[in-house]
Amino acid sequence: MEILRSPREIGLMRKAGLVVWEAHQIAGRMVRPGVSTAEIDRAIEQLFAERNVVPLFKHVPNSSEGKPPFPAATCISVNEEVVHGIPGPRKLAEGDIVSIDTGCKLDGWCGDAAATYACGKVSPPTRKLLEVTRDVLHLAIEQMGRCRWWSEVATQMERFVKSHGFSVVEAFVGHGIGRDMHEEPQVPNFSGRKIRRTADFRLVPGLVVAIEPMVNMGRKTVRQLPDHWTQVTRDGRPSAHFEHTVAMTSKGPDILTAGPLGETWT
């Protein structure tokens, strides 16, 4: 069962969310040809140290026993990499798309957000992939305020993505978030028909979830690289990922990882 948060607790989560937003401002400016993914990760880790927050991704245990924990403060996934890419010496090139996912804990409360950035000029279909993925996140947030159950939102998300000829990744889903980065419930981005009835949840004030659609240009299937973390599309075509931490309030959905003036991905 999901845990409901008080307005005060949601206010504390927004403080963590603001640092995550700040990290994305830095990351977005750094994405350009010739910059390595390790440099971007280092800049974000430095920000987290300056703000006195705990990086949530560093040392996350591997889901396979005996395999290495995640080594960095950010997941950086380029082109056909879907999620969980490990920052390293790879230098970005013109036309790459770069998914950056990061989170932090401030005073015991978590924030988590991801965005896919274009490195220089990208091809028109790739640009469309970024727009559709960003738009489906915003569609979901808007619909949270209109629907009673998450499955209704998720069904619209999948329909929207498919109407543009792309596919929704089903191997990974969003999550409840609060004291821990990953809490109940699971938050899928695909049709309600595929969600077990028992796994559905009501959209009530106090619910806080990280919504994170991953959209593939080609087929939805993914596979893991031998590094035991990076997930890539099976067909090698590009993938995009956008995420916000969102609270349901009595006034509707509220994006906690938005900027200080409520700005979000454009």
DSSP 187-233: E--S-GGGS-GGG--B--TT-EEEE--EEESS-S-EEE-TTSS-EEE
Tell me whether residue 71 or residue 95 sits nearer to Mg ion (CB atom): 71
DSSP 8-state secondary structure symbol assigned to residue 258: S
Size of the site for Mg ion (CB under 5 A): 3
Residue 136 token pair? 């489906």
Residue with tokens 């209704």: 152
Min dist. Cβ of residue 230 to Mg ion (A): 16
Min dist. Cβ of residue 217 to Mg ion (A): 21
Handedness of CA 41, 119, 167, 115 (dihedral sign): positive
Min dist. Cβ of residue 259 to Mg ion (A): 19
Tell me whether residue 31 or residue 210 sits nearer to Mg ion (CB atom): 210
Binders of Mg ion in range 211-230 (CB under 5 A):
212
CA angle 228, 25, 166 (to 5 degrees): 55
- Interface with Mg ion, residue 137, by CB under 5 A: no
Q: How far apart are CA 203 and CA 35, in angstroms?
A: 41
Min dist. Cβ of residue 159 to Mg ion (A): 23
Q: According to CB under 5 A, which one of 82, 141, 207, 210 is a site residue for Mg ion?
A: 210
Residue 233 token pair? 């599309």
Q: Given the rule CB under 5 A, which of 81-89, 148-156, 203-211, 255-263 is the region that contacts Mg ion?
A: 203-211
Using DSSP, state whether 266 is helix, strand or coil: coil
Tell me whether residue 22 or residue 212 sits nearer to Mg ion (CB atom): 212
Spell out, one character per residue from 91 to 130, where the chain touches Mg ion: x when CB under 5 A holds, - when not.
---------------------x------------------
Q: Given the rule CB under 5 A, which of 7-15, 136-144, 162-170, 205-213 is the region that contacts Mg ion?
A: 205-213
The CA-based dihedral angle spanning residues 68, 69, 75, 77, taken in that order and rounded to the nearest 10 degrees: 20
Min dist. Cβ of residue 99 to Mg ion (A): 12
Residue 205 token pair? 């004030």
Residue 69 token pair? 């924990």
Min dist. Cβ of residue 103 to Mg ion (A): 7
Tell me whether residue 139 or residue 187 sits nearer to Mg ion (CB atom): 187
Tell me whether residue 80 or residue 112 sits nearer to Mg ion (CB atom): 112
Instruction: State CA 141 to chain mean position distance.
Output: 13
Q: Which of 191, 33, 7, 28 is nearest to 121 (CA)?
A: 33
Min dist. Cβ of residue 241 to Mg ion (A): 9
Residue 120 token pair? 């220089």
Residue with tokens 């906690």: 256
Binders of Mg ion in range 164-183 (CB under 5 A):
none
- Which residue ranges make up the site for Mg ion (CB under 5 A)? 112, 210, 212
